[in-house]
A and B are shown apart, each in its own frame.
Chain A
C-alpha cells in the first residue's frame, strides 16, 4: 500500500495560539480536497473541504488554503484549544468518480495548556 513505513510528524502548540498544518498532495488532477480530524479511538471526522477552483475556504475557526502550483494544502486553526488535539489528515480525490480518497500521512497536533 501507499505511505508504508511513514511515521507521523507532530506539531505542538500553546493553547490559544494559531496552528498551521501542512500537506503536500500528489496528483495535479485532483479536484477535491478534505481535511479530517481523528481523535484517539475514533474514526476520521470531516473538518472542511475545498474544490480545486478555489484557493481559500473558511469555516468556524478553521481555514483551508490550496496552492495548486506547488500542490500544497494547509489547515489553519485559530485560537487552538485542548480539544483540537488529534491527528489531522488531508485527503485528495483524484478520481472523477466516487471517493477513492488518497490520504496524506497525517500530523499529530498536541495542544499544551
Chain B
C-alpha cells in the first residue's frame, strides 16, 4: 500500500512568487493535514481538510491556503512568498475525521530566495 506522497520534493521560488505543493493521502483516507516545519524547529499546524472542506486552520496568514479535491488529494498554496516561508511542508492523512493516527509524507522542501 502506498503511503502519503508529496510533490515536488524540492521547490525553489523567489520572494513574492506563489508556490503550490501537492499531497496524495493514503488510499481510503479522507482527512489531510498540512504542517510547516522550519529548519531546526518543531511542526506547526497549518490546515486540516476533510471530505473536501477546510475544517480548521492554524495561526498562519491568509496567504496560506489550500483545497482538497474529490479524490481527497490536496494542494497547499502559498502566495506572496516571504523568505521566512522557507521550510519543510509536511502533509499527513488519517482515515477519517476523529481517527487517531496520522501518517506523514516525506515533505516538500520549499526554499524562498
Contacts and interface: CB of A to CB of B under 8 A. Distances in A.
Interface of A: 1-8, 32, 34, 36, 41-46, 49, 89, 91, 93, 95-106
Nearest to A91: B43
Interface of B: 4, 31, 33, 35-36, 40-45, 48, 50, 55-56, 58-60, 90, 92, 94, 97-107
A99 B97 CA distance: 8
Contacts of B4: 43
B90 A44 contact: yes
A2 B46 CA distance: 11
B43 A46 contact: no
A43 B48 contact: no
A70 to B, nearest CB: 21
Contacts of B105: 43
Contacts of A46: 101-103
Contacts of B100: 32, 34, 49, 93, 99
B98 A8 contact: no
Contact of A104 (B35, B42, B90, B92): B42
A103 B41 CA distance: 10
Given A99-B94, A99-B99, A1 B44 contact: yes
A99 B41 contact: no
A46 B60 CA distance: 25
B101 A49 contact: yes
Contacts of A45: 104
Given A100-B33, A101-B43, 16 more contacts: A2-B44, A3-B44, A5-B41, A8-B40, A8-B41, A41-B106, A91-B43, A97-B55, A97-B98, A98-B31, A99-B33, A99-B94, A99-B99, A99-B102, A101-B33, A103-B42
A99 B59 contact: no
Given A1-B60, A43-B107, A99-B31, A105 B42 contact: yes
A98 B107 contact: no
A89 B43 contact: yes
